[in-house]
């Protein structure tokens, strides 16, 4: 099954108040395995970049000023995501901005039935635990040492690894190994030919019966035991 793990960076928290999407990063998975295919783009938001948002992702108004508008690349984005399920961390946020941008250029929003929220998956699997992407990377041993600031493509790459683990990544590997072992043990066992005893005269077996002298010494030993258990 094809799935797209994606992340967005924005000018703020709410597209209803004029905030815009400025970056998107997408990673393709097929049967929970990254294919190496990805999509990444920056967008000119046609507005200023608040200092708080820039502190999070490092994208300034000057940097974004010569980037294409979302409408210029919308068809590329839609072609890449296709009709696949879309996986995101706190997916309602990313879906909200993606659909707001599509609405602005009068394109049909992406149906939320395609939404897979890794926060919801993590909450169900680890109730009471921290659910941030950083916390989940630490839990699953995903290296995030190169993550200095938020970035849509980098965060999508990290989230793809976390998502595979949330879906039972290591257990999936164990199950495959178990299936392989079961298949191996179910194969017919080849029994090698039994080696025949060498021909020729056979030696008489050794006697292991005690001699009369040994029996006499044993009786003498027993007679010297005081209060034996056998009465």
Q: Is residue 216 part of a domain?
A: no
Which is it for strands 21-30 and 2-10: parallel, antiparallel or unpaired?
antiparallel
Q: Is residue 194 part of a domain?
A: no
Q: Which structural domain, as residue segments, surrounds residue 156?
A: 2-169
| pLDDT score of 182 | 54
150 is catalytic: yes
| pTM of the predicted protein model | 0.72
Q: Is residue 102 part of a domain?
A: yes
Question: Residues 6 or more apart from 38 whose CB is under 8 A from it?
Answer: 25, 26, 27, 28, 153, 156, 157
Rounded CA-CA distance 196/216 in Å is 43
Catalytic residue among 150, 184, 208, 218: 150
**pLDDT mean across residues, the chain:** 87
Cβ burial of 43 (10 Å; 0-12, 13-18, 19+) is: buried
Q: What is the pLDDT along the chain (231 residues), one digit of tens a residue?
A: 999 999 999 999 999 999 999 999 999 999 999 999 999 999 999 999 999 999 999 999 999 999 999 999 999 999 999 999 999 999 999 999 999 999 999 999 999 999 999 999 999 999 999 999 999 999 999 998 877 678 999 999 999 999 999 999 755 545 554 554 555 455 554 444 445 555 666 666 666 677 888 888 888 888 888 887 766
Q: Is residue 134 part of a domain?
A: yes
Total number of domains in the chain:
1
């Amino acid at each position: 099954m094809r799935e797209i793990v994606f992340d967005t960076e924005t000018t703020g928290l709410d597209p209803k108040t004029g905030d815009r999407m400025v970056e998107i990063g997408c990673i393709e998975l097929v049967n929970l395995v990254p294919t190496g295919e990805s999509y990444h783009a920056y967008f000119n938001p046609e507005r200023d970049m608040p200092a708080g948002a820039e502190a999070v992702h490092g994208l300034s108004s000057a940097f974004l000023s010569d980037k294409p508008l979302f409408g210029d690349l919308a068809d590329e984005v839609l072609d890449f995501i296709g009709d696949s399920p879309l996986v995101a961390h706190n997916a309602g946020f990313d879906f909200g901005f993606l659909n707001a941008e599509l609405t602005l250029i009068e394109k049909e929003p992406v149906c939320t039935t395609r939404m897979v929220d890794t926060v919801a998956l993590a909450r169900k699997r680890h109730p009471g635990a921290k659910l941030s992407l950083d916390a989940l990377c630490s839990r699953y041993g995903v290296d995030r040492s190169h993550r200095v600031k938020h970035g849509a493509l980098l965060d999508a790459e990290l989230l793809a690894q976390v998502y595979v683990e949330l879906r039972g990544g290591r257990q999936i590997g164990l199950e495959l190994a178990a299936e392989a072992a079961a298949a191996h043990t179910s194969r017919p066992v080849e029994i090698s030919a039994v080696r025949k005893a060498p021909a020729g005269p056979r030696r008489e077996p050794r006697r292991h019966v005690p001699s009369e002298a040994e029996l006499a010494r044993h009786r003498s030993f027993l007679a010297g035991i005081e209060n034996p258990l056998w009465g």
